[in-house]
Amino acid sequence: MTLLVAAVIVHDRAAGRVVLIQRGEYAKFGRGMWDLPVGKNEPGEPITATAVRELREETGLVVPEESLKVVHVVHAALGVGAPTGYLTVVFVTEEWTGEPENREPFKHAQVEWVDVDAVPENFVRGNAQALDHYLNGTGTQMSLYGWA
């Protein structure tokens, strides 16, 4: 199983918005779709460090590791480079420094603040479920995706 870390739902609660990326034409999967900043955990790296690193690499935002809270886990049956499935740990934070920018233009078309009431429907499915559960407060902390 491959461990992926949705490198944080950055939630500006006061403004009612979250940071999302739109996958670009050279993305490995989900071309043109919206998603959370997400990336693979490196060997020997704690998942909180992965979340901080991936968020910084993709969006330029810097978050303190201690501000991260686990809000959801997605267990997906299929994934690019993950023939046995993958596990995505989704964190949230309301603390960050910087302004979001597209730091990986070869992978992403754009990085944007998006109103929580206007999250695009063209969204990577497993992470869409996680964001929906978080924003709508359903209390569900785990999703299965792609299992028969």
At 57, phi and psi to the nearest 5? -65, -40
Instruction: Tell me how far apart the alpha carbons of residues 86 and 66 are, in angstroms, rounded to a whole number.
Output: 25
CA angle 81, 31, 62 (to 5 degrees): 80
Please say whether the beta carbons of 1 and 82 come within 8 A.
yes
Domains and CATH numbers, the chain: 2-145 (3.90.79.10)
Better-scored residue on pLDDT, 75 or 7: 75
pTM over 0.85: yes
φ and ψ of 137, to 5 deg: 60, 40
pLDDT digits (tens, 9 = 90+) for 42-67: 888 999 999 999 999 999 999 999 99
In tens, the pLDDT along 73-130 reads 988 776 556 667 778 899 999 999 999 999 999 999 999 999 999 999 999 888 888 8
Residue with tokens 């991936």: 54
